[in-house]
Amino acid sequence: MTQYVMTKDVSAELRRRLKAKFPQAKFSVRTGTGTGSAWISVSWTDGPDVEAVNLIAAPLHGAHWDGHTETYVQTGNEVTVTVGGKKVTGQPLVDGINTHRDFSEDVLAEAKALWSGAFDGADPDTVVGMQGTAVIDGKCLPDTWAPNQVRFIAREVVAPKRWSAAQNTAAKAPATAAKPRRKTSAKTDPAAGIEVSYTAEAGVTVTGTTFGDGAAPVLRTHGFDWSRKAAHWYVKGHQGDEPGGALIAAHTAVQALHTAGISVAAELPELPADTILPTVQASVPAGSVGDDDDVPEGFAGIVLRHTRAGGTLAEGTARGDGSAEILKGRRFRWSRNLGCWYLPHSRDRAADRFTIKALAEALREAGHAVHVTVREDVARSFGEAEADREQRAGDRAERFSARADRAAGASRAALAEARSIGSAIPFGQPVLVGHHSEKRHRAALNRIDSKMRRGVDEGNRAEHWASRADAAAHYEQHRKDPARTLRRLKELEATLRGLEKLIAGESAFGSSWDVTKPENVAELTRRHTETAEEITHWRELITKAEADGFKLWSRADFTKGDYACSRGRWYEVLRVNGASVTVPGGPDIQEVINRNTRAYSWDDRIPYADVTGRMSAEEMAARLAPKS
């Protein structure tokens, strides 16, 4: 069976080969869309010539266009690429690779100067008509227009010289070490350990932490942020402020670090004697190294760590060690805050052992030492997780709103500049070809086009971030909506019943568990406890909503012939059920739908969670009666 390689994977391989062959040049490699999805476009400025780039691209062609038969002919080429951390060899699904080389303003300026010297000081931008030939640096110019001759000089004379000089300079330059991915925490004496201190100018700061020492998740839990510029941890928003709140966070963090088994020295002002610090739980967030962690002492490889509180993390990687592609292929992402890779949506859930096992095997095949540790007992309560999600939604709303404001400001500025440039050109004024104003006029038109495009793009970007900010701002409102909560409770109660069946050795959810294994019983019990805790949380929310005036409808509120309101429309109740009311079916195109106005013969059901009002048959008749 023929193995094929997708166009996007071939694009990545072409980009890698170009970077390896021409490290001094910057290439743009783009995969086409729609009908051009099997084509790749490569563009660059100055650098190597087109022939050199085509030599790199030629082995990646999967087909070429035959003008005689007007069909694509397969080349038979095979390419080996890395997909998801694994090597894949096959025929590239690429019908063609377009290459385009541009020239910088410096190269064109030098080419114009050479052209002007060969034609008695003439200006190539103003000369009219075709020009005769000339010899420049051993190259004979073709008989054509001056702009074409300038580009010929740039392509054949100026750009090759500059490219050759750049290669020679790069060959003589000493190799430089790769920059570290991030700074270590600032400290003059690494042996002194972690220090927590307070000054009026900087507030509370933590220095001496190192990558993977377990302090980062503890500090983040207690409100600390990492400063890349200063290379230390700090309490955000408390610089130069009253020390009360920051000091409480600092003392609590010191207590939590000690609880996590991390050595720390504190130089903090004393708190008032009656100050009560928040209780620090013995179980620490995932990612921190505690006494019960089974990572061998002195282990220098990659640690795949999962806890319910912190999710699945990959710690101990380094830039350039080859682990990034493997992790990306297993859906991992890099977190600048955590300083490690993480598996999205893995917090507050059981470990995805299949993904963790496959990742560990792939990393070991690539030559990495890997240790896997799974701690399902390190967890946080559902209330804590929900509060954290709401806090993060609020932070997202602020962040996205700021991005929307910046984009809107950039859009207004770009459009205003475009209008300003256009106001200097008389309305309807054409470009006077050959006139001394032609060059300025065309440049102005190009600037107007560029600014208008930027204004539109920034405006679209502002709308995008504004919509995301609005969604984040309403996260808590949607999450705590009573109607949605009732539907969620119904699903959770069904899940709880299924877990009870599994614990009893019965089948549920289309499968069964072997309850003779202690680890299965422990996991099912853990899930049952978590589900019950979540149900309790949402029931308390419904109780609070009822106290605030929310009506929880049930079958006791309706009789046949009443009207139920749902999503702004009134439906006649044909039958009252345990969990819903049966109403006439059909499209909701009128305000009141009953036996007389129904569009179709079938019936629909409206769950009580979706009901927002009730009206008796007499009240509806009075409402529909014609007014005199």
- State pLDDT tens for residues 170-194: 777 665 544 444 445 544 454 557 8
pLDDT at 268 over 90: no
pLDDT at 156 over 50: yes
305: which strand partners?
A: 313, 373
Give buried/exposed letters for 556-579 (b at 16+ CB in 10 A, else e).
eebeeebbbbbeeebbbbbebeee
Q: Helix axis angle, 50-57 relative to 7-21, nearest 10°?
A: 130
- Report yes or no: 611 and 565 within 8 Å, Cβ to Cβ: yes
614: which strand partners?
A: 564
β-pairing, 135-136 with 194-199? unpaired
β-pairing, 575-576 with 580-584? antiparallel
Q: What is the mean pLDDT of residues 572-577?
A: 92
pLDDT at 119 over 70: yes
| Cα-to-chain-centroid distance, residue 237 | 26
Nearest to 370 by CA among 299, 308, 318: 299
SS3 (DSSP) at 66: strand
pLDDT at 178: 46
The backbone torsions φ and ψ at residue 288, rounded to the nearest 5 degrees and listed phi first, read -85, 150
Q: What is the mean pLDDT of residues 582-595?
A: 81
Count of beta carbons in the 10 Å neighbourhood of residue 261: 14
DSSP letter (8 states) at residue 192? G
434: which strand partners?
A: none
Say which residue, 293 or 125, is predicted with more confidence. 125
Q: What is the mean pLDDT of residues 201-228?
A: 75
Q: What is the mean pLDDT of residues 115-138?
A: 83
Is residue 583 within a helix (H) or strand (E), and if so which, with residue range? strand 580-584
Could you tell me the pLDDT band of residue 54, with boundaries at 50, 70 and 90? very high
| DSSP per position, 214-278 | SHHHHHHHTTEEEETTTTEEEETT-TTS-SHHHHHHHHHHHHHHHHTT--EEEE-PPPPTT--PP
What's at 198, amino acid-wise? Y
pLDDT at 250: 77
Tokens of 211: 């990558």
DSSP letter (8 states) at residue 185? P
pLDDT at 28: 92
CB burial class (10 A; 0-12, 13-18, 19+) of residue 91? middle
Residue 80, C-beta contacts closer than 8 angstroms, at least 6 positions apart: 87, 88, 89
Which value, to the nearest 10 degrees, does the dihedral of the CA atoms of residues 30, 31, 36, 37 take?
-170
pLDDT at 290: 44
How much of the chain exceeds pLDDT 90, in percent? 27
SS3 (DSSP) at 62: coil
β-pairing, 86-92 with 4-5? parallel
pLDDT at 282: 41
Average pLDDT score, the chain: 83
pTM of the model: 0.49
pLDDT at 276 over 70: no
Euclidean distance between CA atoms 213 and 207, whole angstroms:
13
State the maximum Cα–Cα separation within the chain, in Å, rounded to a whole number.
Answer: 102
Q: Which of 39-43, 134-138, 176-180, 538-542 has the lowest mean pLDDT?
A: 176-180
pLDDT at 188: 42
Residues in the chain: 628
Is residue 307 within a helix (H) or strand (E), and if so which, with residue range? strand 302-307
pLDDT at 591 over 80: yes
How much of the chain exceeds pLDDT 70, in percent? 89
Q: What is the pLDDT of residues 83-92, one digit of tens each?
A: 777 788 888 8
pLDDT at 318 over 90: no
- Report yes or no: 93 and 62 within 8 Å, Cβ to Cβ: yes
Say which residue, 234 or 586, is predicted with more confidence. 234
Say which residue, 516 or 259, is predicted with more confidence. 516
Positive or negative: CA dihedral 475, 480, 484, 489: positive
Tokens of 532: 């019950």
pLDDT at 379: 87
Q: What's the first-to-final CA gap in the chain, in angstroms?
A: 81
Say which residue, 169 or 186, is predicted with more confidence. 169
Euclidean distance between CA atoms 57 and 10, whole angstroms:
10
